Amino acid sequence: MNVWLYVIGFIASCALSVILTPIVKKFAFWVGAVAVPNHRSVHSKIMPQLGGLAIFFAFIGAYFIIAPLTASFNLKVALALLIGGAIIVLVGALDDRFVLSPKIKLLGQFAAAGVVVYFGLAVDFVHLPFGGPIDVNQWIGIPVTILWIVGVTNAVNLIDGLDGLSAGVSGIATATIMVLSIIMGNYGVALICAVLLGSIVGFLFFNFHPAKIFMGDTGALFLGFALATLSILGYKQATIVSLIVPILILGVPLSDTFIAILRRKINNKPIFAADKGHLHHCLMGLGYSTRKTVLIIYGVSTLFGLCAVLLSQATQWWTLVIVAVMFLIMVICAEAIGIISKNRKPVISFIQRVFFGGIALFRATK
């Protein structure tokens, strides 16, 4: 492992992203790809979109210069990210400019996922906390791969609601995958992560609050696609990783999406209906500023990442303990801030009944 190649890859992509973002900003205004404030917006002025173009071209430019110099370069992986990423970026850019229908966007996401499968990057075995890896045939592995990529792509897109939120959370997830890849000796994936992380950090100079440009669907869809693909690469090559680790790495976007679906079901609303009940909306509703809300979610994402790293090294029993504690904390926090429902809080109510019941029983026995 040549550490300097990873450092150079990170710096090169970061520098490219810093150079390209102002150019993309002018281009977005020129073609009319702008976000106009509405009733769901947090921003109050017209903002340029298409920032994802800077992330994509910085990543691709730096990676295809650095990666061929390494022994771990995999042409199939590179082409899957290039071609699949280009499809996703094109769909996102068209949506940022013309607002595509959900069906067309979904079709593009399936096409990009199909490219990944075509180059042989589908899941071929599943790791369970007990019993080790289980071989999966192509009739199961391919659909699971496609659904995973489409699901993660949309999950990252859904949390793109505040300055720097989606980019920062994606950067933390990318860093987590990079650390796990290095631990497992998967240096090819680690290099991809280093370059992708650099392009994200470079863009964040312009996207963190107060943002000068939005990544738009161009960036959110690409980052979701890239993270889903990278998690599959690490997941299918590492026999020590349990089934839950890739989910923990992407814990914030996936949990926010799951809770959004649950919330809409409880409130009898369509699953794809937009609302202001996401995690960042709820935190801002509690009085936190945009910057503090984003930093809180960064902290939660980092916690998920640390748990993923710990989980990859844990014994089977510790795996169950970590997962159970994380799930309980997530449910309690979700109910506390009202992200699921403002009135229904069954878990907190149950804990309160047990706690006060225990106190009453203790007093009665004295």
**Per-10-residue mean pLDDT for the chain, 366 residues long?**
87 97 97 82 81 97 91 89 97 95 94 95 63 59 89 88 90 92 88 96 94 95 94 58 66 78 73 66 78 89 84 64 72 69 71 72 70
- Is 38 annotated in a binding site? The answer is no
Q: Is 217 annotated as a binding residue?
A: yes
Q: Which helix (H) or strand (E) holds 279?
A: helix 279-285
> If we measure between CA atoms, which residue out of 153, 144, 114 comes closest to residue 126?
144
Instruction: Tell me the H-state helices in 138-244.
Output: 138-158, 165-184, 187-207, 216-237
CA distance 217 to 55: 12
Helix (H) or strand (E) holding 93: helix 75-98
Q: CA 149 → CA 23, 85, 230, 294, distances in Å?
A: 30, 12, 10, 25
Structure token pair of residue 31: 């073609």
Which whole-number Å values give the CA distances from 20 to 17, 216, 220, 234, 272, in the listed order? 5, 15, 17, 30, 33
Closest CA to 158 of 23, 263, 295: 263
The dihedral built from the CA positions of residue 143, 156, 259 and 248, taken in this order, carries a sign that is positive
Strand partners, 34: 48
At residue 84, the pLDDT reads 97
